[in-house]
Chain A
């Protein structure tokens, strides 16, 4: 049925964007037990940087995205080394307070540097416009988001399952102290993971800029969505966040198609239902 296909494809596109942005958050939460409420900063910053590189410096889209991801990754490392490290092991509330403070500063800085209106991220020719899927027209950018999400998931799988870094990362997540005892440099793992999560969030922010427009309030406005993906998926579970993001994307989309007035209630109701059924998230541990 056309309607079902539409719901699925729109939902998956939206879900992929959420996945790319949130996967970094779930890993840092699960890995470092750090509640980072400012995670949306990375996605927002990615959008701003890409837009600036393209409009001010005339960079090509691919270059801008790569550069933005690298810069945001570096910013992630800097943030982790300077501030976040100071609250490892501190009570959850302290982390909440610190990261909300960082979020506020980020919002204010974005307002000063880029203005308070939305900034649009220009699209390259091959991504703008629509593609004819046969049963309907689909914005090409959405298809790109799906492709990117699949690519990201595959890359993450490869990283975790087939590289030394991945082995070390998984060890550190499972049991940090044992990992240290075995000689794994957990500090470096933390920093790199933070950076990767930030960089991926930046890419998600850029690709999702039409769905989640780039403006200073981005950080706190969509925080609930990102946290929901993490909670529903299970802390620290990459695949959990993928499933959760897709489920949430499809549920919200289905709501919009079928019962628009109750779409928001439907989404949160579904979230409550899933969390009641699986309190540790879909694929969460302990």
Chain B
């Protein structure tokens, strides 16, 4: 009993380390994302880079109003912790806005806090269609899989592929990608010969690729999460000779910039369709990229960076609309229907779904003038909504 009290006392001492919220004329934004663990490099770090780039480019949101970001690490799916972090950010740190979220269950768990405490929240990634509808204070600036897969299917039809095999990682986004690609492809007269769902923990894709090569479809539609699976799969595609057999690779995010340089030569010539390429030619992208490189010299912009960058734009607009005061309904009203030119291209926030509407680009991996790999945009599908919501 004594020991228990002693240790409780020690624990209290530890908690005292936690900083109390200072009361200032500053608008605080709590960002919950993975900053440690396997997803930090694909999401957490780019989120931070995107946010800081925006702040460096735009300064304070409004005269006399400063913004301060509070970063909280959530390395994996853990809805209990997500809710806890969100709730503490609001109750203890006094944030006016929340942002971030990579995994769907985490975002949904935080929705209870957003609704209960009325805190406008900008989702930087969690891509299931159902996420944004969980709270009327949710806005999303990343993408959904249906949004990206439908134009991919249309492009495949236009290229003349008749038979496709889909191979996706067996989890939410993968299944969404497969479902909507298949729907759009078959509606256009194509045939999805087989749909393979690969366990998320797969490290060796050889067997899947081999069995695909035996069936010889025109093309292979793929969706994998960022990081090790993509790396293994793309290498496997080359190593098993599928490219030489003429089975075209149709991807979505596999060549996104945080994995692209690591993929190396294996990536050259791969065609994907996604919402952002660092090689997008526009003044906004040039300015964004320049500032990013100035702050973080060894970093490439990638879709996660841009999602956070644009998310910060939405936050800024909400802060401006409310002059830095806590007025959640006014803030969300300001976000709805917002439209601007992002580094990725023209985007807008759908006033009814509060989800992002954006262009989806077909790109092919090439080497630029300096021999670095880039996703070169070759086609644009404009103003793609989230097809997952429209039935």
Direct contact of A and B (CB under 8 A): yes
* B7: Cβ under 8 A from any A Cβ: no
Distance in angstroms between the alpha carbons of A252 and B241 in the assembled complex: 22
Distance in angstroms between the alpha carbons of A111 and B199 in the assembled complex: 26
Q: Is the CB of B203 within 8 A of A211?
A: yes
Distance in angstroms between the alpha carbons of A130 and B232 in the assembled complex: 15
Residues 5-46 of A, flagged 1 when their CB comes within 8 A of B and 0 if not, give 011001001100000000000000000000000000000000
Which residues of A, 204-230, contact B by the 8 Å Cβ criterion?
210-213, 215-217, 221-222
Distance between A232 CB and nearest chain B CB, rounded to angstroms: 18
* B240: Cβ under 8 A from any A Cβ: yes
Q: Is the CB of A253 within 8 A of B204?
A: yes
Distance in angstroms between the alpha carbons of A17 and B8 in the assembled complex: 47
* B42: Cβ under 8 A from any A Cβ: yes
Distance in angstroms between the alpha carbons of A2 and B210 in the assembled complex: 10
Distance in angstroms between the alpha carbons of A137 and B238 in the assembled complex: 10
Q: Is the CB of B197 within 8 A of A261?
A: yes
Distance in angstroms between the alpha carbons of A120 and B260 in the assembled complex: 12
* B384: Cβ under 8 A from any A Cβ: no
Q: Is the CB of A260 within 8 A of B197?
A: yes
* B225: Cβ under 8 A from any A Cβ: no
Interface stretch of the complex, out of B32-40, B136-144, B365-373? B32-40
Residues 48-71 of A, flagged 1 when their CB comes within 8 A of B and 0 if not, give 000000000000000000000000
Q: Is the CB of B199 within 8 A of A10?
A: no
* B231: Cβ under 8 A from any A Cβ: yes
Q: Is the CB of A117 within 8 A of B204?
A: no
Distance between B286 CB and nearest chain A CB, rounded to angstroms: 25
Interchain Cβ contacts within 8 Å, total number = 104
**Interface size counted on chain A using CB atoms at 8 A:** 39
Q: Is the CB of B207 within 8 A of A116?
A: no
* A256: Cβ under 8 A from any B Cβ: yes
Distance in angstroms between the alpha carbons of A257 and B215 in the assembled complex: 12
Interface size class of B (residues with CB under 8 A): 35 or more
Which of A3, A118, A252 counts the most chain B CB atoms within 10 A? A118
Q: Is the CB of A118 within 8 A of B206?
A: no
Given contacts A210-B235, A256-B202, A260-B197, A117 and B207 within 8 Å (CB-CB): no
Given contacts A215-B38, A263-B199, A257 and B210 within 8 Å (CB-CB): yes
Q: Is the CB of A3 within 8 A of B170?
A: no
Distance between B390 CB and nearest chain A CB, rounded to angstroms: 28
Q: Is the CB of A253 within 8 A of B207?
A: yes
Q: Is the CB of A111 within 8 A of B208?
A: no
Which residues of B, 82-98, contact A by the 8 Å Cβ criterion?
none
Q: Is the CB of A116 within 8 A of B41?
A: yes
Given contacts A137-B240, A137-B241, A261-B170, A118 and B210 within 8 Å (CB-CB): no
Which residues of A, 140-162, contact B by the 8 Å Cβ criterion?
141-142
* A166: Cβ under 8 A from any B Cβ: no
Q: Which residues of B contact A212 (CB under 8 A)?
A: 203
Given contacts A120-B262, A253-B207, A213 and B239 within 8 Å (CB-CB): no
Q: Is the CB of A260 within 8 A of B45?
A: no
Distance in angstroms between the alpha carbons of A107 and B210 in the assembled complex: 33
Chain B minimum-CB-distance residue to A117? B41
Q: Is the CB of B204 within 8 A of A14?
A: yes
Q: Is the CB of A257 within 8 A of B45?
A: no
Chain A minimum-CB-distance residue to B75? A217
Q: Is the CB of B37 within 8 A of A217?
A: yes
Q: Which residues of A contact B40 (CB under 8 A)?
A: 111, 116
Q: Which residues of A contact B38 (CB under 8 A)?
A: 116, 215-217, 221
Distance in angstroms between the alpha carbons of A253 and B207 in the assembled complex: 6
Residues 108-152 of A, flagged 1 when their CB comes within 8 A of B and 0 if not, give 000100011111100000000110000011110110000000000
Q: Is the CB of B37 within 8 A of A6?
A: no
Distance in angstroms between the alpha carbons of A215 and B211 in the assembled complex: 28
Q: Which residues of B contact A138 (CB under 8 A)?
A: 240
Distance in angstroms between the alpha carbons of A13 and B36 in the assembled complex: 32
Distance between A255 CB and nearest chain B CB, rounded to angstroms: 8
* B112: Cβ under 8 A from any A Cβ: no
* B258: Cβ under 8 A from any A Cβ: yes
Q: Is the CB of A115 within 8 A of B41?
A: yes
* A177: Cβ under 8 A from any B Cβ: no
* A264: Cβ under 8 A from any B Cβ: yes
Given contacts A211-B204, A253-B204, A118 and B227 within 8 Å (CB-CB): yes
Distance in angstroms between the alpha carbons of A215 and B197 in the assembled complex: 24
Distance between A273 CB and nearest chain B CB, rounded to angstroms: 19
Q: Which residues of B contact A130 (CB under 8 A)?
A: 238-241
Q: Which residues of B contact A139 (CB under 8 A)?
A: 206, 235-236, 239-240
* B228: Cβ under 8 A from any A Cβ: yes
Given contacts A2-B214, A14-B204, A120 and B239 within 8 Å (CB-CB): no
Q: Is the CB of B203 within 8 A of A260?
A: no
Contacting residue for A260 out of B37, B196, B241, B264, CB 8 A? B196
Chain A minimum-CB-distance residue to B170? A261
Q: Is the CB of B211 within 8 A of A257?
A: yes
Contacting residue for B239 out of A2, A7, A141, CB 8 A? A141
Given contacts A111-B36, A117-B42, A211-B203, 7 further A-B contacts (CB under 8 A): A120-B262, A137-B239, A138-B240, A215-B228, A257-B207, A260-B198, A260-B199
Closest 8 CB pairs of A and B: A139-B239, A137-B241, A256-B207, A213-B228, A117-B41, A116-B41, A264-B199, A116-B40
On A, residues with C-beta under 8 Å from B are 2-3, 6-7, 10, 13-14, 111, 115-120, 129-130, 136-139, 141-142, 210-213, 215-217, 221-222, 252-253, 256-257, 260-261, 263-264
10 contacts between A and B (CB under 8 A): A10-B207, A116-B37, A119-B262, A120-B264, A129-B239, A210-B232, A213-B203, A217-B38, A253-B204, A260-B198
